């Protein structure tokens, strides 16, 4: 369960922080690589998607690569 003071971000805010498109954020959520909460519905995409700030941090920490892997 999230801490009561934890911040939730929408897809646009996550996209800005990760410097990717909103579509990429939706794809990360759909693939299960970034957990999210759906606060509303939509025919194509859930419009009320909320992602914990800690989930964004965990995703970034999990995507770290070693210096040798970065140049390959």
Summarised one tens digit per residue, pLDDT across range 31-45 is: 999 999 988 766 665
2 within domain boundaries: no
Please give the backbone phi and psi of residue 15, each rounded to the nearest 5 degrees, phi first.
-60, -40
72 within domain boundaries: no
71 within domain boundaries: no
Q: Give all strands (DSSP E) within 1-72, no chain letters.
A: 8-10, 37-38, 49-52
pTM of the model: 0.75
| Dist. CA 47–CA 18, nearest whole Å | 19
Q: DSSP letter at 34?
A: S
- Helical (H) or strand (E) element with 17: helix 11-18
51 within domain boundaries: yes
Residues in Cβ contact with 59 at an 8 Å cutoff, skipping those fewer than 6 apart: 18, 28, 33, 34
pLDDT confidence bin for 55, thresholds 50/70/90: very high
3 within domain boundaries: no
49 within domain boundaries: yes
pLDDT at 44: 65
């Amino acid at each position: 369960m999230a801490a009561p003071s934890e911040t939730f971000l929408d897809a646009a805010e996550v996209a800005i922080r990760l410097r990717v498109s909103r579509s990429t954020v939706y794809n990360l959520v759909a693939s299960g690589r970034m957990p999210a909460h759906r606060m509303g519905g939509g025919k194509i995409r859930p419009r009320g998607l909320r992602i914990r700030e800690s989930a964004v941090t965990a995703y970034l920490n999990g995507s770290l690569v070693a210096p040798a892997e970065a140049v390959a």
